[in-house]
Structure 1
Amino acid sequence: MPLVLTALGVLLLLLLVMKFKVHPFIALAVSAFALAVMLRVPPLETVDAVQNGFGGTLATAGLIFGFGALLGKLLGDGGGSQRIALTLISTFGVRYTQWAVVAAALILGIALFFEVGIVLLVPIVYQMAKQTKLNLVWLGLPMATGLSVMHAFLPPTPGPTVVTLEFGAPIMMVILYGAIVALPTTAIAGPLFVRIARRYVPSAFESKQIGTLAKAADSREFSEEELPGFGISLLTALFPVILLLGAGVVTVVQTAVEIPDNFVLDLVNMFGQPTVVMMLAVLFAVVTMGLGRGRSMGEIYESMETAAKAIGMLILILGISGSLKEVLLVGGVGDFVADLMEGAPVSPLILAWLVAALIRLAQGSATVAALTSVGIMLPIVETTPVDPALVVLAVGAGSIIASHVNDTGFWIIKESFGLSVKETLLTWTVLETLISVCGLVFVLMLSLVV
């Protein structure tokens, strides 16, 4: 029954948005309360769940997107995004622009949370789309594919790192196997799939609508003489990556050599938190793309105010999508799926994928799906000869299947690229499922030779 009720809640949301044209923010709020009633969550707990889900999401994704929009606008108004876009286009050529954004996403995705990668890359991809006259979705979906694949399969991103440590898998083997799985999966689910998607949902690739993040970072065209140097532009864009990667390396070394916590390490870890990183990146951009470009503080303030206004509704949608996810968690949907799959007579790798996939479908969060799967799979990993590194990858593949309306990432993609709910389901949801299935297939193929 919990799964049936969840499906009814999702159906209600889709009807409100697609059939009756209710704004997503209102539709998500109504669906969250309706689902809580169906799952028999006590009234006061329902209110707490909605508030905690909203606040918890904004405490992370909200701040990241807020600072990210400011950073994107500063890069755009300072000419940095245009400089990076022009350099990538001249290096790869217009014909291979898609592969250029995929390569950028894979490289940046090593250190970035999915949400951080989106807010950093969407303004640059938008500039590349403007310069090449290509559709934003045509370039944006392959970019998001690269970020999603790295988020699912490769440490030091949070999910794979925690699952690796819990299973006691050698982290270098997870990275090696993860790279083998990630590269072909990205090619198939990214540029190759997008060519097919353009045929069966052409409206997504023909729309002239600009997504929220792109709109927030939009700026005037600069002449070649007005543009900043490529080095300082790239450094500004990569500043969050450098901080996150540095903190990640310190954490891995600390764990490997068992260094006890101390004030210096705590300080390093603080500067490796995404919200702090994005705040520091904005301050850095104020200098490099603002004051260093001869702009006054008044002009810089105006840029940031424009960006903040542009993403106001996106922030509300992200927050209320967290409320829906919290209702599902409080309603015990994830626990029900975990109990349902425990002890199933299936291959450990397929079971790991199934458990993570069902939990993901039921409650939306890839991270929660991955971490919940650990508790179910750990006894199996400890008592069977299965390679724990492959189990990590199977869990990662299952945890990102079929991103839909209960996933914050779904709304991020929808609002970033100016898609309708239907278009997002037909592109992003299918794309994530393709990543998940390809990941499982390549993991199973690897298991035959390692």
Structure 2
Amino acid sequence: MNITSPLAALFGVSPAVWGMLAVGLSVGLLTLLIAWGKVQPLLAFVVAALAAALLLGMPLEAIPKSIDKGIGDLLGSLIVIVCLGAVFGKLIADSGAAQRIASYLIGVFGSARMPVALTLTGFVAGIPLYYNVGFVLLVPLVFSLVYQSGRPAVALAIPLLAGLSIAHGFLPPHPSPTALVAQFHADMGRTLFYGMIVAIPTLIIAGPLFAMTLKRIHSEPAPMFRAGLLEEAQLPGVVNSFATALLPVWLLAGATALTMVPTGDAALKSVINFMANPMIVMLIALAVALVTLGLARGKSLPALMSGAQDALRDIAPILLVIAGAGALKQVLVDSGVSGELGRQLGGLPVPPLVLGWLVATLIRICLGSATVAGLTAAGIVAPLVESSGIDPSLMVLAIGAGSLMCSHVNDSGFWMFKEYFGLSLKDTFRSWTLMETLVGVFGLIFVLLLSIFI
């Protein structure tokens, strides 16, 4: 282990023990800076990375290079995919495709099965839409249904938001699972496929089934959030909306399936691998969406691209979080402590997937941000994936489940839900926090069940 810090000798501990302490102190500093000091996460990650490097005895001249490499390596493979996904999701929202999907599903299932329709709406619309965009876009739809049907607002909203949350935590091309795929060198198409298998039963439990217990919660939705829906004539067609919104899923699934088909034609294999690249998939999906949801409906390209500016502005903070996580991860790797962490964690009598989930859960409870929790946990448990031989796609999902656990007062989503629906703190914990915890717990359970067959 390449830990030569004189502090280890000063405190009379072995290099291995000092390495564990240094990681704990740096993660504790990260938590303190973000949770208490409200420091921007990129800055907090860089400071924590510097602290870890100094505690671990890295040569001073190597520290900036390690931080630069971590930021560049992680962002380099993700920035185009994440930005394309943001622009694609914004186009789905602005065009009215997400609203069309919601209104169609509600019409098909009828008022008696409205929670089921909203569950599907949240999940289907949540695949292309980033969480905050989906929340702001679809919650007014819930309010309109509440006023029409007289049903309890929280019982209708939770299935929808469970679908959004699960897509956000488990499924590429959302930023956190996409970044985890890159960190673990997993296959994005396979992760998406496994994610669907885990997401569906988790969604049934945390969505419509759990919502049945919330009918007595009284809420007073804020009047300012009641508007925001497009007129019927402004919405795209049903087939167009579904086909375009789900196009990245179809393309990734199809390309991944083709890569598994043996072929002796080198040129054909090269084309298939090219088409399976997530960047190419998102480029194709965006190009199709621009035509089907924009140009073919009489909108100009400059008008369509105006929304792209807002999307890229919204996604910038997430990219900075990813960059900072890359810096801390690289310091842990270059110092040698990452390999030691893998050996120590691998020796614990706990399954690797549970360990990944547990680390993400602890950081989520401390920091609030699901993205920060997932990426920080990945940097800690990454060596465990290699040493244990666990499927990296399953580790992406286990950490994703942990990163959604126990949302409480340090999570912006907690306050958005409370204020939009006019709830007390007690009822917000009873509904929102418990829903997120069910997603995290059952997400892990179904990941473990899936690991039996893989």
TM range (shorter): 0.5 to 0.7
Which of 273, 281, 284 does residue 269 from structure 1 map onto?
273
Shift of 1:249: 0.9
Shift of 1:326: 2.6
**5 Å matches for 1:22-421?**
22-92=39-109, 99-100=116-117, 102-103=119-120, 117=127, 119=129, 123-124=133-134, 126-133=136-143, 139-145=160-166, 148=169, 179=197, 184-188=201-205, 221-254=229-262, 259-260=263-264, 262-342=266-346, 350-353=350-353, 356=356, 372-373=383-384, 375-377=386-388, 399-400=399-400, 402-403=402-403
Q: Within 1, Cα distance between the matches of 2:44 and 2:23?
A: 15
Shift of 1:283: 1.3
Q: Within 2, Cα distance between the matches of 1:209 and 1:369?
A: 43
Shift of 1:68: 1.5
Q: Is the 8 A contact 1:13 1:28 kept in 2?
A: yes
Amino acid across the alignment from 2:320? L
Q: Within 1, Cα distance between the matches of 2:82 and 2:38?
A: 26
Q: Is the 8 A contact 1:10 1:31 kept in 2?
A: yes
Shift of 1:53: 2.3
Q: Is the 8 A contact 1:247 1:271 kept in 2?
A: yes
Residues 44 and 208 (structure 1), Cα distance of their counterparts in 2 relative to 1, 3 Å cut: farther
Q: Within 1, Cα distance between the matches of 2:37 and 2:382?
A: 37
Q: Within 2, Cα distance between the matches of 1:228 and 1:402?
A: 37
Amino acid across the alignment from 1:36? A
Residues 320 and 81 (structure 1), Cα distance of their counterparts in 2 relative to 1, 3 Å cut: same
Shift of 1:72: 1.9
Is the partner of 1:73 in helix, strand or coil? helix
Q: Is the 8 A contact 2:252 2:281 kept in 1?
A: yes
Task: Say how many residue pairs are matched.
Answer: 385
Q: 2:20 matched to which residue of 1?
A: 3
Q: Is the 8 A contact 1:247 1:268 kept in 2?
A: yes
- In structure 2, the gaps of 5 or more residues are 1-17, 144-152, 173-179, 364-372, 406-410, 419-427
Shift of 1:341: 4.7
Q: Is the 8 A contact 1:68 1:278 kept in 2?
A: yes
Residues 38 and 126 (structure 1), Cα distance of their counterparts in 2 relative to 1, 3 Å cut: same
Q: Is the 8 A contact 1:373 1:395 kept in 2?
A: no
**5 Å matches for 1:5-24?**
5-24=22-41
Amino acid across the alignment from 1:222? L
Amino acid across the alignment from 2:246? L
Residues 225 and 343 (structure 1), Cα distance of their counterparts in 2 relative to 1, 3 Å cut: closer
Residues 36 and 402 (structure 1), Cα distance of their counterparts in 2 relative to 1, 3 Å cut: farther
Q: Is the 8 A contact 1:31 1:324 kept in 2?
A: yes
Q: Is the 8 A contact 1:145 1:186 kept in 2?
A: yes
Q: 1:381 matched to which residue of 2?
A: none
Q: Within 2, Cα distance between the matches of 1:26 and 1:428?
A: 31
Q: Is the 8 A contact 1:122 1:140 kept in 2?
A: no
Q: Within 2, Cα distance between the matches of 1:9 and 1:66?
A: 30
Residues 146 and 220 (structure 1), Cα distance of their counterparts in 2 relative to 1, 3 Å cut: closer
Residues 15 and 418 (structure 1), Cα distance of their counterparts in 2 relative to 1, 3 Å cut: farther
Residues 290 and 245 (structure 1), Cα distance of their counterparts in 2 relative to 1, 3 Å cut: same
Residues 128 and 251 (structure 1), Cα distance of their counterparts in 2 relative to 1, 3 Å cut: same
Amino acid across the alignment from 1:132? V
Q: Within 2, Cα distance between the matches of 1:196 and 1:328?
A: 45
Aligned sequence identity (%): 25
Residues 95 and 147 (structure 1), Cα distance of their counterparts in 2 relative to 1, 3 Å cut: farther
Residues 24 and 416 (structure 1), Cα distance of their counterparts in 2 relative to 1, 3 Å cut: farther
Q: 1:113 matched to which residue of 2?
A: none
Residues 272 and 15 (structure 1), Cα distance of their counterparts in 2 relative to 1, 3 Å cut: same
Residues 162 and 324 (structure 1), Cα distance of their counterparts in 2 relative to 1, 3 Å cut: closer
Q: Is the 8 A contact 2:134 2:164 kept in 1?
A: no
Shift of 1:187: 4.0
Amino acid across the alignment from 1:3? M
Residues 101 and 297 (structure 1), Cα distance of their counterparts in 2 relative to 1, 3 Å cut: same
Q: Is the 8 A contact 1:105 1:147 kept in 2?
A: no
Q: Within 2, Cα distance between the matches of 1:330 and 1:96?
A: 54
Is the partner of 2:260 in helix, strand or coil? helix
Q: Is the 8 A contact 1:357 1:369 kept in 2?
A: no
Q: Is the 8 A contact 2:81 2:279 kept in 1?
A: yes
Quote the RMSD (CA, aligned, Å).
5.1
Q: Within 2, Cα distance between the matches of 1:367 and 1:225?
A: 46
Residues 281 and 28 (structure 1), Cα distance of their counterparts in 2 relative to 1, 3 Å cut: same
Q: Within 1, Cα distance between the matches of 2:230 and 2:124?
A: 27
Shift of 1:231: 0.8
Q: Is the 8 A contact 2:75 2:322 kept in 1?
A: yes
